[in-house]
Amino acid sequence: MSNRKFIIIFSLVGIFLIGSLVYVGIDLFGNKTQKTTKQTTTAKKNTFSFLDFGKKTNTTVIEQPEATDTIEVTQPETTTKKLIRLSSRRVSSYGFFEKESGVPGTQTTISGQNSIFIKSTGVNFTDKETGLIYQLIDEATENSRLSNNTTPLLGKSLIGNNGDSVVYQYTEKDSETIDTYVGKLDGGIAPFNVRGFFLPKNIIDVTLSPKKDQFFSIIPTPNGVIGLTQNFVTNRKTQPWSSVFSEWVADWSNDRVITITTKASGDSDGYSYFLNLSDSRFTKVIGPEKGLITKTSPDTKNILYSKTENGQPKLYLFNTSSKTSKSLDFSTLADKCTWADNSIIYCAVPNIIESGVYPDTWYRGEVSFQDSFWKIDINQDSISNVATLSDIDNIDAEQLSYNNGELYFINKNTENLWKYILQ
């Protein structure tokens, strides 16, 4: 009997020990599996790859906001889909085109011939190192070369005439003389030759008309400067303006008005004027203001401008009817903004900006910014954040422009062409 009790007790103890070991094993295994899953989930949530952008191959940890934060944060997954690098080449400038071409078909009958008219839109841009023109219709496709002519030491270029014409500015080997060449892509099969003519040497500034069919150049003379408009196709010229002063920049606002502003410096007073093309009236609208940069609305009713205050570039809106200015509470340069229409403005605003002499230090490349995009609606009197790019790879936007729901710009840090999809 005692042996039987002993066997029973021994069996119960054995079952208890085995059960305990199994429990501990499950607990340890389960906890380890749970911790590993949590770390993996956290890593997937907090890391973001720059491989899509082609500049860096490492990952960066993006801190998520606390639950008590009230700001709206753009998630990395959304940003990667909306922010797209269009070219790995160093880009001098770019321009949009929209063309229709007829190809054999049966859907549309025009002039007794069966044709399908295909509309293509895209971007032409110039390579800063070679001056070659490239075309991009879709960011998923390869950049196709449009021109054969190389232009070394390219400083500035403008693409107009629906992508068919270009204005090159570059320095000669003496690093002092500026040549300006106006060319047009000839016919045939791409890549095309660029054929054209030279403007007088040391052109001070060139700007395109809103329709991109003409250009306005400021040309030095023994008595100062003259302003000349010229058509890309007909070469028709007019001289609506002259000045004894020579340091100017121009912005062709609409068919009637060109905004002409003194070259900006944080150390000197700046002035801005309207040049009326119909009667050559030259009227002061803003000034004096230190570091003055202007961007005029297409209807010329408002001027977005920046000026230097206490070592910071501050953004203002000037109403040309009431002659009053309103602060927009932004520290950015008007050169980093664009008008989408008569009431909507988009700006690249530095997240952090140190005190300095602006815009001089930015122009010279002594400082660079990390921008976010903001939208200003002057009709609704509202300002809203479009995209926070603080975790993207140092976007310092210049040559910002709006086209069909997208912002295009050149990243000043890398000189690559980018776009941000707003929709």
Per-residue pLDDT reduced to its tens digit, 66-125: 322 222 323 333 455 689 999 999 999 999 988 765 444 434 333 444 445 556 688 999
| Domains of the chain with CATH codes | 286-423 (2.120.10.30)
Question: How many other CB atoms are found less than 10 A from the CB of residue 204?
Answer: 18
pTM above 0.75, yes or no: yes
- For residue 6 the two structure tokens come to 């002993």
pLDDT, residue 118, reads 57
pLDDT less than 50: residues of the chain: 1-10, 12-13, 15-18, 20-78, 102-115
- 312-330 pLDDT tens trace: 999 999 999 999 999 998 8
